[in-house]
Structure 1
Amino acid sequence: MGRHREFDADKVLDAAMRVFWSKGYEGTSYADLVAAAGVERPALYAAFGNKETLFLKALARYDERYLGYIPEAIRRPTARDVAAHMFFKSVELNTRFPEHRGCLGLNGALAGSDDAEPIRQALIAFRVAGQEKLRERFEQAKADGDLPRTARSDVLAAFVMTTTQGLAVQAKSGLSRDMLDLVAEQALAAWPIGPPSPPSGSGPVHRRRRT
C-alpha cells in the first residue's frame, strides 16, 4: 500500500497559487514552489505533476476563489453596470494583497520563452472565453435597447477586457487603489448610452411647434 500524503494538498496548492500570482509562470522556480509549500520536490511532483500542470491547477483555483465577480458582472441589469462591476471589482482584487498584486493570469501570460508557450496559449484561451461571455451579454443589451443599435458588442467586450488588464498591470506596478478607481471612472465616461425610455404610460413624444 502507498504511503498517505503527509501534507494538505489544498494548502500546498494555495501556496503555489500565491507564488505564481506574485512571480508569474516563468519567474517561479521549483525551488520557490518547494519553499512556499514546505513540501519536498519529489512529493510535489507526485501530487501535482510538473510545473506546467501545477500552474494550470493553480489557475483553476484562482478562478474558483477570486474571479466570482465576473459571473456576477454578467448578471448585472445594464451593460454599463456590467462594465463598472468588472472594473471596480478587478481593482479591488488586484490591490487586495500587497505581496501579490495584479492578476495571476495576466502575470503569467506576458512574454516568455518558447518552453512557456503552452501556458501562454492556455491563458489566452482563458481570456478569450471571458471576453466571449461579455460579447454575448452586450448583444443581449442591444436587443433589450440598453445599448445603441450601432454599438459593437465585440469591441465593447474587448474594451472591458483591455481596461481590466490595464488596471491589473498598473496595480502590479504599484499604482494606488484610489488612482485605479479614478481610471475606472474615466473609462466608464466613454461608455455608450442607449436611447432613453419614454415616460411610463405616455405615447410618442412630439416637439411643440414654434408659432
Structure 2
Amino acid sequence: MAQNHFQLSVDITMGRPREFSHEEVVDSAVEAFWSNGYEALSTADLASAMGVAKSSLYNAFKSKQDVLLYALARYANMHSAAVRRLVDESDTVGALRQLLLNVAQCNDDGRGCLLVNTAAELGAKSVDVQTELKSGFMAMQKAFAAIIKSGVQAGTINFSCDADAVALTLVTGIAGMRVLAKGGYSAAELAPFIDLLVQQLTA
C-alpha cells in the first residue's frame, strides 16, 4: 500500500491546484463508505465526497477498491487507538462494559462498524479486501488484549484469563451485536449478552 503522507493535487477550474493531505481525503472516504456501503457508492460520488476530481482519484488510488483498502486501514487505526485509550481508565471492566453498552444503544448512529459492514458485503468477493479486513479486526483484538493485560496488572481483571482469547471473544461479540442491532435488537435485549462478555473478565 502507498505511503500515507503525500499531497494529492486536486484540479480546480481557475488558479493553481489545491492540495489536500492523504489523511484528509481518506477520512472523507471512510465517511462515504461507512454511510453508503461499497456497491451503492459510485466512483463519481466517492470522488465528490472526497473533494477530488475523478481523474485525480484514479491517479492517486488507481481504483475504487484501492480507496476502500485505505479507508478500512484508516478506520481500524482510529478505532483501535480509541480502544487503547481505555488503558487510562481506573475501572477497566466498567469502561469495557460502557463501550459494549454504547454499541448496543447507538451502534454508531445506526451505521454499525465499517469493518463488519464491508465483511458482510465484500468479504467473500475479494482476497485483498478480506486481507485488509482481517488486519483491521486483528488490530482491534490487539487493542482489547492490551486493555485486558493492563487490567490484569492493575488487579481489576481476573489474572488467570487469556488476554488474547478474551480479546477475540470481545471482537467477535461486538461484531455480532452490531449485526443484531441492525436487525432490530434493542439494547435491553442485548444486555444479557453484554453481561456474559463482561463476566469472563471477573469470573
Q: Same fold (TM over 0.5)?
A: yes
1:110 aligned partner: 120
Counterpart amino acid of residue 49 in structure 1: K
Instruction: Look up the match of 2:3.
Output: none
Partner of 1:76: 89
* Structure 2 equivalent of residue 56 of structure 1: 69
For these two proteins, the number of residue pairs brought into alignment is: 186
Q: Deviations over 1:88-140 (max 9, x none)?
A: 343466342x5xx1111111123637662111111111111221232233234
Q: How does 1:125-204 map to 2 (within 5 A)?
A: 125-173=135-183, 175=184, 179-180=186-187, 182-183=188-189, 185-190=191-196, 191-192=199-200, 194=202
CA distance in 2, matches of 1:155, 1:64: 21
Change (3 A) 1:68 1:154: closer
Q: Find 1:22's aligned residue among 35, 39, 58.
A: 35
Structure ID, larger Rg = 1
Q: Deviations over 1:30-84 (max 9, x none)?
A: 2442464575422321244322331133234435666654123343224422421
CA, structure 1 residues 92+55, in 2 after alignment: closer, same or farther (shift >3 Å)?
A: farther
Task: Work out whether residues 148 and 194 of structure 1, in 8 Å CA contact, stay in contact via their aligned partners in 2.
Answer: yes
Distance 2:123 2:192 in 1: 36
C-alpha spacing 1:146/1:15, structure 2 compared with 1 (3 Å): closer
Query: CA RMSD, aligned part only?
Result: 3.5
Q: Of residues 130, 134, 137 in structure 2, which corresponds to 1:120?
A: 130
Q: Which runs of 5+ in 1 are unaligned?
A: 196-211
Distance 2:123 2:144 in 1: 31
Letter in 2 for 1:53: D
TM-score normalised according to structure 2 size: 0.69
In structure 2, C-alpha distance between the alignment counterparts of 1:55 and 1:142, rounded to whole Å = 37
- Contact 1:105 1:123 survives alignment (8 Å): yes
8 Å contact 2:86–2:92 — kept in the other structure? Answer: no
TM-score, normalised on structure 1? 0.66
Q: What are the within-5 Å matches in structure 2 for residues 89-100 of structure 1?
A: 89-91=102-104, 94-96=107-109
Tell me the amino acid that sits aligned with residue 110 of structure 1. Answer: A
1:19/1:33 contact within 8 Å kept? yes
Alignment-derived partner of residue 5 in structure 1? 11
